[in-house]
Amino acid sequence: MMPIHQSGGAAIEGALLPEAQVMRAADGALALRASRCRACGQPTFPRTDVCPFCLGEENEDLALAGTATLYAFTQVHIAPRHWQTPYLIGYADFDCGLRLFAKLNPHTSWAPGATARLHVEAVAAGTGTGEVAYRYHLGA
Ligand SMILES: [Zn+2]
């Protein structure tokens, strides 16, 4: 696939996150580390120790993975240096109530309401960068 931008000389196909913001889902796949407030039930990404809705301090980890419903998207033609354009970005809604912004796989035809699968992967595995990239792929 075509890289979306470059980071430290490596081709990256999604937004970058430190490894601490990633966890394993129940099926063992990499997932984004969100949290859910035990007091009000609201989910938050990235994970937080204090709920932004009720200031509750008891938050449990929530693995953000699997599929979401694409809410809206657009194509970007002007970007920072070294980023390849055009590329797609959008919001998708997860069943847990979170709306997550991410890049979209550029090689498919997207439409609002489409099923977007969150894809999380380690960047340059074995190099010790501790970074992951995430983006949406079309379909379940
Ligand atoms: Zn709360």
* Cα-to-centroid distance, 47 and ligand 1 (Å): 12
Contacts of 123 (CB under 8 A, 6+ apart): 7, 10, 12, 16, 129, 131, 132, 133
Tokens coding 123: 């960047």
* 3 state SS of 102: strand
Distance 96 CA to ligand 1 centre (A): 14
**What stretch of H or E contains 133?**
strand 131-138
Q: What is the pTM of this model?
A: 0.80
Over the stretch 120-140, which tens digit does the pLDDT of each residue have? Answer: 887 655 555 567 788 999 987
Q: Ligand 1: distance of its center to the CA of 20 in Å?
A: 22
DSSP per position, 5-40: EEETTEEE-SEEEEGGGEEE-TTS-EEEEEEEETTT
CA 6 to ligand 1 centroid distance, Å? 37
Tens digit of each residue's pLDDT (9 = 90 or more) over 24-54: 888 888 899 999 999 999 999 999 999 999 9
Residue 2 predicted with pLDDT over 50: no
Tell me the percentage of the chain whose pLDDT exceeds 70: 82
Give the Cα separation of 84 and 137 in Å (integer): 18
- Judge whether 40 and 50 are in contact, CB under 8 Å: no
pLDDT of residue 84: 83
Using one digit for the tens of pLDDT, what is the confidence trace for 57-80? 999 999 999 999 999 999 999 988
Asked whether residue 107 carries a pLDDT value surpassing 80, the answer given is: no
